[in-house]
Amino acid sequence: MANQALMANAIRALAMDAVQQANSGHPGAPMGMADMAAALWGEHLKHNPANPHWADRDRFVLSNGHASMLIYALLHLTGYDLPIEELKNFRQLHSRTAGHPEVGITPGVETTTGPLGQGITNAVGFALAEKLLAAEFNRDGHAIVDHHTYVFLGDGCLMEGISHEAVALAGAWKLGKLIALYDDNGISIDGKVAPWFIDDTPKRFEACGWNVIGPVDGHDAAAVSAAIAQAKAGEGSKPTLVVCKTQIGKGSPNRGGTAKAHGEPLGADEIGLTRSALAWEHAPFELPEAVYQDWDAKAKGAAAETAWNEKFAAYAQAFPDLAAAFERRMKGELPAAFDQVVVDAVLAAHTKAETVASRKASQLALETLTAQLPELLGGSADLTGSNLTKTAATPDLRFAADGTVVRTEDGRIGRHINYGVREFGMAAIMNGVALHGGFIPYGGTFLTFSDYSRNAIRMAALMKQRVIHVFTHDSIGLGEDGPTHQSIEHAASLRLIPNLDVWRPGDTTETTVAWACALRNRTQPTALLLSRQNLNYAPKDELADISRGAYVLAEPTRVGLKKKAKAVIIATGSEVQLAMAAQEMLAAKKIPVRVVSMPSTTTFDRQDVKYKKSVLPKGLPRIAVEMGSTGGWWKYGVDAVVGIDSYGESAPAGVLFKHFGFTPENVAATVQAVLKG
C-alpha cells in the first residue's frame, strides 16, 4: 500500500530544494497541492511515462504554471525521462525544467502554462477534442478514444477573465470528462485574496453547468481521491470542479499559509525547520527508494497502453479505414491527396478570376478544404456571417441534454463552433484542441479584436501549434463602424510575434494559397487578414511563387512598356489593386514600374537572399502601399510608404479611401515624388 503522505512530502522536498538552489521560483503552490497530486497521479491518472504521446492517455494541465516544480517532481518521480539532475538545474539555461512548464521541452508536459487562466482554457480544448474524436471514431464495442482531462488551477486562474469564458463554454458543451481541481488556498502575491476576490466560486461553476464537489480537505489525499472517483462516476453531461481547501506552503512552520511562500525561496533556515516538521531527514534532492517505488508508474502505464494497443488492433481489423484516418490525424499529417486538392483549388481560383472580398475568397477556399479535411474544426466569435467561416461541410456543433453530440440527418457531427463573444477564450481553446491532436482548429473574428486574443496567439506561436486565425474586416475599409473597429496597427503588431505567419492576401488565388500554406505549416500558427470590401482579381502569370510570401505580380511589359522598371511598388491585400492601377497611370507617363504583391512578409523574410533580390532588386526605389501603420515597412529599404498612422473615421469606405490617400492617383504621385528625389 502506497504511503501517500510520504509521496506528497517528496514533492514538497523537491519543490523547496529546487527553488532554493535556483534562488528563484514558487515553492508554496507545489507544497500546498502535493496531496492533491498524490491522489490524482498516484491513483487515477492514466498515462505511460515511457510514451508521453500515447493517444489515449489522460491529459493533465497545470493551469497555475508558476507551480512548475509540482509537475517536474511528478514527472521525475513517476518515471518520465526527467532525471534528478534536471530538477537540480531548475530555471537554468537550456534545462528541461523552465520557470513555467513548456510543451516540447519537458516530456509529459501537455501545454505551456504561465499566463494565468489559459491553462484551464486549454484544458477545455483538450476535453472538447476528446469528446468530438470519440463521437467520430468510436464504435459499439470499440471505444478507442476514452480518456479524461484533469486540470489544477488556483485563485489567479479564476480571477482572470478568460476563465469565465472557458468555464461557460465547458458547461455549454457538457464536457463530462473534464475534471478541475481547485487549489483553494486564499493567497496570491499581494496576500490574502479576500479583499479583492469575493466570488462564490462553487456557485459560479454551478451556474455555468458544472458539477461541484466539496470543499474537501486538500491535504487529505484519500478524500481528494474519493472526490475524483465521484467525478469520474458522474461523468456525462457536466464537467466537474473539485474544491480543495489547502494551505500554501504546507509544511513550512513560519511561511505556510502566507504570501511569503508564494514566489520566493523559503531560505535555508526555514527549509531546515520544514524538514523537521515533515520528519524528512534526507539531504537536498535525496529521495528514499521507497518513495520511488510508491510513485513508479512505468509498469502500470505500460500495461494500460498495451491494453489499448490490443483494443486498437481489434478496431483496425473491424474498421481499417477509420483506424488509418485516426492514426493519420493524430500524427498531424495531411491526406495524401492534399497537394492535388490545393493545386486544383488554386487553378480554379485563378481561372475564375472572381472579384470578391478576401473574406469571401477564404470561404470559397474553405468549401473545398473542409470537404476534403475532416480534421478542420472551425468557428467564430459571434461573427459567423461576417467572418464567413462556416461551409456546407461544417454544420453547427450542438449537444443534446444528455451530453451527446448531436448529429445531422446524414450522421455527421458539427464542425463549426459558435464561441459567442469570447475572442480570447476561442483562441486559447483552439490551442488546446491543436495540442490534443486529431483536429486543425480555425476561428474567426474582426482583425481589430485580435487585441483581445493576442496572448493566446502568442502562446500558440511559442508552442509551435498549427492554429489558424481568420481575421476579417482588416482595415478602414470596414467603413461606417469607425475607429473602434478599423484596424490600423494590427497587421504590423501581429507580424512582430515570433513564429506567427501573417498573410494578407489580395485576391482569391492568394487567399487559397495562404490557406494551403497555413495547413501545411505544422509548427506555426497563422493569421489570415481578410477584407470586408470586394477586391479586383489581379491577373498573374506565375502562381508557384505566391507561397514564398512575395512575388513579382506585374512587370512594365503588362502595361505596354518595354523599358526596365525604375521603381518597385510593394503592396498587400486590398492595396494590390491600387498598385496595379497606379502602374497603369505611370505607364501613361512613360514611367515603368514593377508591382510586387507581398501577401506574407513573415514568409518572405524566410526566403533565401537570391530570391529576395530577384523580387526587390538592389538599387531600385521602393514604395510600399498598405492600409495600416507604416513602421514595419522601413526594414525593406523603402523610400516611401502610403499608409496610415492615425486612427480612422466613421464614413463609407470609399470616402475614407480618398480622405486618407488610398487612391491610385496618390500612389502614382508618391512614386513620382520618390523618383524626382
* Torsion angle of the four alpha carbons 619, 621, 624, 630, in this order, in degrees rounded to the nearest 10: 90
The reported pLDDT for the residue numbered 15 is: 98
134 secondary structure, DSSP code: H
**Residue 256, SS3 per DSSP:** coil
- Residue 155 annotated as part of some ligand binding site: yes
Mean pLDDT of the chain: 97
Q: Check whether 53 is labelled as a binding-site residue.
A: no
Q: C-alpha cell of 576?
A: 494590390
- Mark which of 529, 558, 592 sits at the end of a domain: 529
Residue 114 assigned to a binding site: yes
Do 485 and 553 share a domain, yes or no?
Answer: no
604 in a known ligand binding site: no
Question: Got the DSSP string for 319-343?
Answer: -HHHHHHHHHHHHTPPPTTHHHHHH
Q: What is the pLDDT of residues 172-182, one digit of tens each?
A: 999 999 999 99
Determine, yes or no, domain membership for 311.
no
Encode pLDDT of 354-401 as tens digits: 999 999 999 999 999 999 999 999 999 999 999 999 999 999 999 999
Q: Residue 360: what pLDDT?
A: 98
Nearest to 591 by CA among 544, 639, 559: 559
Does 244 map to a domain? yes
Same domain, 173 and 265: yes
Number of compact structural domains in the chain: 3
Residue 549 has pLDDT above 70, yes or no: yes
In a shared domain, residues 120 and 245: yes
What pLDDT digit, counting tens, does each position of 260-303 carry? 999 999 999 999 999 999 999 999 999 999 999 999 999 999 99
Could you read off the pLDDT of 637-650 as tens digits, one per residue?
999 999 999 999 99
Confirm whether residue 359 is marked as ligand binding. yes
Q: Does 23 belong to an annotated binding site? A: no
122 in a labelled binding site: no
Domain identity same for 516 and 553: no
Could you read off the pLDDT of 489-545 as tens digits, one per residue? 999 999 999 999 999 999 999 999 999 999 999 999 999 999 999 999 999 988 999
Residue 151 is predicted with a pLDDT of 98
Same domain, 158 and 117: yes
The burial class, CB within 10 Å (0-12 / 13-18 / 19+), for 325 is: middle
Residues 374 and 439 in one domain: yes
Question: Quick one: pLDDT at residue 234?
Answer: 84
**Within-domain flag for 540:** no
172 and 36 share a domain?
Answer: yes
DSSP code for 81:
S
Find out whether 455 is annotated in a ligand binding site.
no
The answer to the question of whether 399 is labelled as a binding residue is no
Is residue 323 in some structural domain?
Answer: no
Residue 366 belongs to domain with CATH number = 3.40.50.970
Whether residues 565 and 456 share a domain: the answer is: no
Q: Are residues 576 and 607 in the same domain?
A: yes
Q: Is 471 annotated as a binding residue?
A: no
Q: List pLDDT tens digits, range 389-405.
A: 999 999 999 999 999 99
- As a whole number, mean pLDDT of residues 130-157 equals 98
Catalytic (active-site) positions:
423
Q: What are the cell numbers at 188?
A: 496570491
Q: Is 324 exposed, middle or buried (0-12, 13-18, 19+ CB in 10 A)?
A: exposed
Kindly indicate the confidence band of residue 2, based on its pLDDT and cuts at 50, 70 and 90: confident
156 annotated as ligand-binding: yes
What is the predicted pLDDT for the residue at 677? 85
Look up the CATH number of the domain holding residue 649: 3.40.50.920
What is the Cα gyration radius of the chain?
28
pLDDT in tens, 25-81: 999 999 999 999 999 999 999 999 999 999 999 999 999 999 999 999 999 999 999
Last residue of a domain, one of 257, 280, 302: 302
The answer as to whether 81 is a domain residue is: yes
472 and 574 share one domain? no
Domain that holds residue 27: 4-302
**557 and 475, same structural domain?**
no
Question: What pLDDT is attached to residue 236?
Answer: 77
Grid cell for residue 673: 515624388
**Do 505 and 556 fall within a single domain?**
no
End-to-end CA gap in the chain = 85
Backbone angles phi, psi at 476, to 5 degrees: -65, -10
The answer to the question of residue 159 being in a domain is: yes
- Does residue 379 fall inside a structural domain? yes
In this predicted structure, the answer to whether residue 1 has a pLDDT above a threshold of 60 is no
In this structure, is residue 277 part of a structural domain? yes
